[in-house]
């Protein structure tokens, strides 16, 4: 049955401390997890419908084939745990085609959006026990006792690219511990490709990605009772060739000060807040990262034109 678990709602005080730490640092930055309040999750779903944002469709195109292969490999009863499940769209080919899946735990930081998506999913898959867990996947997440072995971890959307390579290694290693012995991990990872194509994916013509980026300032206004003039910041995303990642920033268009909980934060013209990185990996690079974290790469899939990759890891 559909069940709601709330293990780690983000308290405003945690958000306030993070925002103050990030905006008073020498290079201003905010953690991308704060994009995802209800409004941010809604805008992200719109990004997934954009023709420029190729990762969504490219990964979706791989999943029925992957699920059909996993249906052969995974014969004993399976529990699936998805990290950053969002609108729970990507799990659907897996739940439809892998007959051994008995329960599904969806973890996401954006609680309302997740609960609503999981309620719809439960109606579509009445024979699978579906659980929505509002939690930060960077912290240990306690999995329910019946979800204890033969776990299949699932981490689509190239969300792993939002970590630096060092953080990604740490995440993979922690996930290995929490998934436990005999587990497997299916991960979607964006590939290296033309910087121009990458540029368009994060600078769409309709400005939806800009709206998504700026939502973090709107969220600060909503939740921390601030009055930042969001129009005085510009969305700026570019591919950093040396680092191999897209960097997303909010750049101040004027010299200005903002007040957050009585703390004055000054911006020069052109000063930026770094809001997200999105690392792209060649299959070789990702395989090395996964094996450094203690996983064995069992299988690799590539979407048409090598636009996106997926990896099946095992312990
Ligand atoms: C790039 S979106 C991917 C969504 C979906 N998995 C997909 O593939 O379309 C990242 C998702 O991870 C969630 N997320 C980001 N950081 C998180 C964190 N630290 N803990 C839990 N969820 C997080 C977001 O709320 C969002 O749903």
Query: Cβ atoms within 10 A of the Cβ of 77, count?
Result: 11
What is the model's pLDDT at position 4? Answer: 41
Examine the pLDDT at 5 and tell me if it is beyond 90. no
Atom from ligand 1 closest to the CA of residue 59: 8
What is d(CA 295, CA 311) in angstroms, rounded to the nearest whole number? 11
Q: Are 277 and 168 in contact (CB under 8 A)?
A: no
If you compute the radius of gyration of the chain from its CA atoms, what whole number of angstroms results? 20
Kindly report, residue by residue over 220-234, the tens digit of the pLDDT. 999 999 999 999 999
What is d(CA 286, CA 247) in angstroms, rounded to the nearest whole number? 19
Where do the domains of the chain lie, and which CATH numbers do they carry? 1-315 (3.40.50.150)
> If we measure between CA atoms, which residue out of 268, 273, 205, 260 comes closest to residue 29?
273
Report the DSSP beta bridge partners of residue 267: 256
> If we measure between CA atoms, which residue out of 110, 134, 108 comes closest to residue 39?
110
Pocket test of ligand 1: the residue of 15, 36, 107 to mutate, having most ligand atoms within 8 Å of its CB, is 36
What is the model's pLDDT at position 182? Answer: 87
Kindly report, residue by residue over 176-211, the tens digit of the pLDDT. 988 988 899 999 999 999 999 999 999 999 999 999
What is d(CA 268, CA 167) in angstroms, rounded to the nearest whole number? 30
What is d(CA 153, CA 164) in angstroms, rounded to the nearest whole number? 20
Residue 257 C-alpha to ligand 1 middle, in angstroms?
31
Residue 262 C-alpha to ligand 1 middle, in angstroms?
31
What is the model's pLDDT at position 141? Answer: 80
Token code pair at residue 274: 């770094």
Examine the pLDDT at 288 and tell me if it is beyond 90. yes
Residue 157 C-alpha to ligand 1 middle, in angstroms?
8
Mean pLDDT of 240-246: 97
Atom from ligand 1 closest to the CA of residue 157: 8
Name which residue sits closest to atom 27 of ligand 1, judged by CA: 86
Name which residue sits closest to atom 8 of ligand 1, judged by CA: 157
Average pLDDT, rounded, for the chain:
94
Residue 292 C-alpha to ligand 1 middle, in angstroms?
24
Mean pLDDT of 5-29: 81
Pocket test of ligand 1: the residue of 85, 108, 215, 303 to mutate, having most ligand atoms within 8 Å of its CB, is 108
Kindly report, residue by residue over 67-101, the tens digit of the pLDDT. 999 999 999 999 999 999 999 999 999 999 999 99
For residue 293, give Cα distances in angstroms to 140, 164, 165, 223, 313.
17, 14, 11, 37, 11
Q: Are 152 and 79 in contact (CB under 8 A)?
A: yes
Whether ligand 1 lies within 6 angstroms of the CB of 40 is answered as no
> If we measure between CA atoms, which residue out of 230, 202, 227 comes closest to residue 214?
230
For residue 91, give Cα distances in angstroms to 99, 101, 110, 112, 175.
13, 11, 17, 18, 18
Whether ligand 1 lies within 6 angstroms of the CB of 138 is answered as yes
What is the model's pLDDT at position 8? Answer: 43
The residues, ordered by sequence, that sit 6+ positions from 103 with a Cβ below 8 Å of its Cβ are 79, 80, 128, 129, 130, 131, 146, 147
Least confident window among 100-109, 176-185, 236-245, 284-293: 176-185
Whether ligand 1 lies within 6 angstroms of the CB of 190 is answered as no
Whether ligand 1 lies within 6 angstroms of the CB of 161 is answered as no
Kindly report, residue by residue over 121-178, the tens digit of the pLDDT. 999 999 999 999 999 999 888 777 666 678 999 999 999 999 999 999 999 999 998 8
> If we measure between CA atoms, which residue out of 262, 260, 261, 235 comes closest to residue 250?
235
Whether ligand 1 lies within 6 angstroms of the CB of 55 is answered as no
Residue with token string 């201003």: 28
* φ, ψ (nearest 5 deg) of residue 268: -80, 165
């Amino acid at each position: 049955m559909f069940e709601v678990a709330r293990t780690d709602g983000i308290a405003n005080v945690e958000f306030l401390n993070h925002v103050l730490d990030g905006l008073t640092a020498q290079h201003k930055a905010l953690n991308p997890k704060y994009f995802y309040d209800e409004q941010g999750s809604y805008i992200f779903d719109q990004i997934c419908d954009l023709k420029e944002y190729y990762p969504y469709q490219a990964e979706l195109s791989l999943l029925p084939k992957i699920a059909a292969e996993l249906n052969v490999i995974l014969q004993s009863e399976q529990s699936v745990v998805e990290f950053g499940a969002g609108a729970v769209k990507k799990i659907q080919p897996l739940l439809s085609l892998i007959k051994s899946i008995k329960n599904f735990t969806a973890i996401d930081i954006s609680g309302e959006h997740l609960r609503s998506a999981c309620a719809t999913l439960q109606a579509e898959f009445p024979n699978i026990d579906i659980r929505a867990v509002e939690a930060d996947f960077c912290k240990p997440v306690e999995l329910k006792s019946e979800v204890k072995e033969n776990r299949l971890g699932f981490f689509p959307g190239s969300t792993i690219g939002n970590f630096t390579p060092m953080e990604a290694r740490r995440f993979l290693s922690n996930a290995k511990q929490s998934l436990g012995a005999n587990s497997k991990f299916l991960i979607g990872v964006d590939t290296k490709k033309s910087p121009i194509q990458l540029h368009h994916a994060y600078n769409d013509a309709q400005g939806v990605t800009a709206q998504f980026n700026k939502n973090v300032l709107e969220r600060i206004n909503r939740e921390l009772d601030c009055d930042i003039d969001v129009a005085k910041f510009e969305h700026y995303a570019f591919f950093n060739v040396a680092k191999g990642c897209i960097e997303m920033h909010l750049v101040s268009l004027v010299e200005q000060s903002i007040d957050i909980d009585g703390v004055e934060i000054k911006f020069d013209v052109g000063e930026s807040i770094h809001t997200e990185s999105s690392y792209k990996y060649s299959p070789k690079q990702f395989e090395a990262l996964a094996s450094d974290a203690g996983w064995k790469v069992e299988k690799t899939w590539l979407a048409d034109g090598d636009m996106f990759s997926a990896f099946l890891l095992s312990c």
